[in-house]
Amino acid sequence: MLIIFLGVLSQWIAWRLQLPAIVLMSIAGLLVGPIFEIIHPAESFGELFNPFISLAVAIILFEGSLNLNFKEIRTFSKPILRIVTLGAFIAWIAGSLAAHYIAGLSWAVAFVIGGLFIVTGPTVILPLLRQAKLKSRPAAILKWEGIVVDPFGALLALFAFQFVLFANGDETAAAFGLFFLASLFAAGLGAGAGGLMGLMFEKGQVPEFLKAPMVFGMVLLTFVVSDLIMHETGLLAVTAMGMMMANMNIASINDMRHFKENISVLLISSIFVMLTASLSLEVLIGIFNWQIVSFVLATLFVVRPLSIWLSTIGTDLTIQEKTLVGWIAPRGIVALTVSGYFAGVLLEAGFADAELLTALTFALVFSTVIAHGFTISWLGKKLGLATAEDPGVIIVGASRFATKLGEALADLNKNVLIVDPSWGRLQGARQAGLKTYAGEILSEHTDYEVELTPYETMIVATETDSYNSLVVNNFVPELGRTNLYQTAIHIGDPSDFHVSLSGRTLFAEQWNIHELEAKTEEGYTMRKTQLTDQFSFEDFKGKWSDEMIPLFIQRSQGKIEFFEGSNKLEPKAGDVVVSFTSPARQSERTQERLENKRVKIATQSKE
């Protein structure tokens, strides 16, 4: 109970305070584990401890690989291929040299741990990318590297271990060759399992309510079968399975992806607390060994940048992208769990210095998580690879009112994008100088054509109520329901239909898109009103309430908040109220200004 509670609480606190969640989870585990000794997960779970963590890692890695669609990287596949092959090899060799010459490990142990430490993994990189909001290209590079290299890091460590045994005469050439056959079998098993699942789904052989559970069971089966044949090949199998399904264009892939993502968040939260709580004080004290500290610094500032810069020579990556990718490489659960396995087998094989592996691994994991967790957002912004600090607004539907609303937001220096399937309907928005995209917002193609990361709020304002609800439902996992608005229902009784609304009702129940369009035809215009101590919002409503529709307010700090049915805003002095005002009121306002100007001139002439 405490593990799950602390894990989820750490995620929530991190979201509230905009801090790296992994750092808070690790600290929580250290506090309740080795520091205050409240819980001892390894002792409590007993023999189930390592299997549970291994199965959880398999699920997390599969969920991450479900996002590896090759369409995402079709324009920059060369640098990713270089990073996950040549870059990983350089990191292995350089990391092994550092482990031998700096950490003082024997060559055998150094090459095993050097292969393992090339991993970054979805357990750490995906939460950081969610927090940092990088642009699509650097985010995709880090995501693909983290997921693809994860199983290969474990395989490299296994390869190095098999080679060490072979070189010492403890393994035959046939046993050494079995490693390669087992790896090929794991990749084939995973791809086959993914293809089988995909075909069954597309042919309607599995009902909707069983799709996610069947995939869940197949992932565990694939992982365990592969791992029983040869230890640590299960990660490769589930990665191949996820990539196969991600590229089969399965209609229900998004539903499964969201289901797996929810499970992954819970598992990541729990596992980080479990692993850090299971450490001993001796391991924590051992971290401050000067050799370990020197090795961590060398890995951060030499090994990682060197592997990225050398492997991407001749690619189209910019200096800024190389700098960011060359710095961000946090290690996570896979490094911790797999290093524990190799520490045991290396000690059994007679390598006494393998007892340092646990302290060395945790030092690298915790250092990289803190260093990269706290710097990824800052560095991304400094290098121009992060989205705008002030999040923007997407408006779906290119009506005349939507265009006017977009202009009003753009006048306040907000990032606005208007999306509509019709190129012709977007003409007014283009003429107004707004950013537009002609395409279907729900299309998979849009995911790869439009950079949606800079936009935090979405307004769905088409003329079809059911479509509005469908769009909002689709984007709830990405944007959250509180950031999704849709125009009011205009057919039937709105109170009867309200339960099927997916987002917040924009403005008020009576102002559906047809009513707003009618007001636009009547000549209604956007009007900004600055509130002061002398002219409050109550004064504003009293003077203009007859023919005025409050749309949104800009807080004195610059934040935009929309008026909507269930939430009564309280504008204060210093805020700007943007309203949709009738031409009669606008004319009266103009006359007032002219009259005030005339009186002022007359007064000055008398003086």
pLDDT above 60 for 189: yes
Q: How many domains does the chain have?
A: 2
Residue 319 maps to a domain: yes
For 71-82, write each residue's pLDDT tens digit: 777 777 889 999
Mean pLDDT of 391-396: 88
| Residue that terminates a domain, selected from 382, 417, 444 | 382
pLDDT above 70 for 588: no
Least confident range from 55-59, 183-187, 298-302: namely 55-59
For residue 343, what are the contacts with CB-CB under 8 A and spacing of at least 6? 354, 355, 357, 358
Q: What is the 3-state secondary structure (H, E, C) of 171-227?
A: CCHHHHHHHHHHHHHHHHHHHHHHHHHHHHHHCCCCCHHHHHHHHHHHHHHHHHHHH
Q: What is the 3-state secondary structure (H, E, C) of 479-545?
A: HCHHHEEECECCCCCHHHHHHHCCCEEECCCCCEHHHHHHHHHCCCEEEEEECCCCCCHHHHHHHHC
CA 168 – CA 111 distance, rounded (Å) = 14
pLDDT above 50 for 130: yes
Contact in structure between 380 and 132 (CB atoms under 8 Å): yes
Residue 149 maps to a domain: yes
| Residue that terminates a domain, selected from 382, 415, 438 | 382
Is residue 446 located within the same domain as residue 501?
Answer: yes
Find where tokens 């019709």 sit.
Answer: 422
Give me the pLDDT at residue 265, please.
78
Is residue 114 located within the same domain as residue 133?
Answer: yes
CATH of the domain at 184: 1.20.1530.20
Is residue 396 located within the same domain as residue 375?
Answer: no
For 325-370, write each residue's pLDDT tens digit: 999 998 877 787 778 778 888 888 888 888 888 889 888 988 988 8
Contact in structure between 30 and 275 (CB atoms under 8 Å): no
Token digits of residue 262: 């929810």
Residue 477 maps to a domain: yes
Average pLDDT along the chain: 83
Residue 265's identity, in one-letter code, is V
Give me the pLDDT at residue 499, please.
42
Contact in structure between 31 and 378 (CB atoms under 8 Å): no
Is residue 405 located within the same domain as residue 369?
Answer: no
Q: What percent of the chain has pLDDT over 90?
A: 24
Q: What is the dihedral of CA 300, 306, 309, 314, to 10 degrees?
A: -160
CA 299 – CA 74 distance, rounded (Å) = 31
Residue 94 burial (C-beta neighbours within 10 Å; 0-12, 13-18, 19+)? buried
Token digits of residue 313: 């020579």
Is residue 376 located within the same domain as residue 396?
Answer: no
CATH of the domain at 406: 3.40.50.720
CA 120 – CA 91 distance, rounded (Å) = 12
Q: What is the pTM of this model?
A: 0.73
Give 596-602 contacts, CB < 8 A, sequence gap 24+: none
| Residue that terminates a domain, selected from 362, 382, 402 | 382
CA 504 – CA 565 distance, rounded (Å) = 7
Mean pLDDT of 234-256: 83
Is residue 58 located within the same domain as residue 179?
Answer: yes
CA 48 – CA 27 distance, rounded (Å) = 24
Residue 593's identity, in one-letter code, is R
Token digits of residue 410: 């753009």
Is residue 305 located within the same domain as residue 412?
Answer: no
Is residue 374 located within the same domain as residue 404?
Answer: no
Mean pLDDT of 583-599: 57
Mean pLDDT of 17-27: 80
CA 204 – CA 187 distance, rounded (Å) = 26
Contact in structure between 123 and 334 (CB atoms under 8 Å): yes
**Maximum separation of any 2 CA atoms in the chain, in Å:** 111
For 282-314, write each residue's pLDDT tens digit: 888 888 889 999 999 999 999 999 999 999 999
For 528-538, write each residue's pLDDT tens digit: 888 888 877 77
pLDDT above 90 for 418: yes
Contact in structure between 71 and 144 (CB atoms under 8 Å): no
Q: Which residues of 153-167 are buried (b: 16+ CB within 10 A; e: fewer)?
A: bbbbbbbbbbbbbbe
Single out the residue of 369, 336, 287 nearest to residue 157, CA to CA.
Answer: 336
Residue 317 maps to a domain: yes
Range of the domain at 378: 2-382
Residue 314 maps to a domain: yes
Is residue 262 located within the same domain as residue 220?
Answer: yes
Is residue 192 located within the same domain as residue 158?
Answer: yes
Token digits of residue 7: 């894990």
CA 517 – CA 520 distance, rounded (Å) = 5
% helix, strand, coil for the chain, step of 5: 65, 10, 25
Residue 387 maps to a domain: no
Query: How would DSSP label each residue in 274-299?
Result: HHHHT--HHHHHHTT-HHHHHHHHHI
Is residue 156 located within the same domain as residue 250?
Answer: yes
Contact in structure between 461 and 506 (CB atoms under 8 Å): yes
Q: What is the 3-state secondary structure (H, E, C) of 311-370?
A: HCCCCCCCHHHHHHHHHCCCCCHHHHHHHHHHHHHHHHCCCHHHHHHHHHHHHHHHHHHH
Is residue 499 located within the same domain as residue 470?
Answer: yes
pLDDT above 90 for 97: yes
For 138-180, write each residue's pLDDT tens digit: 988 998 888 888 888 888 888 888 887 777 766 666 766 788 8
Give me the pLDDT at residue 307, please.
95
Give me the pLDDT at residue 135, please.
83
Q: Which residue has the higher pLDDT, 347 or 606?
A: 347
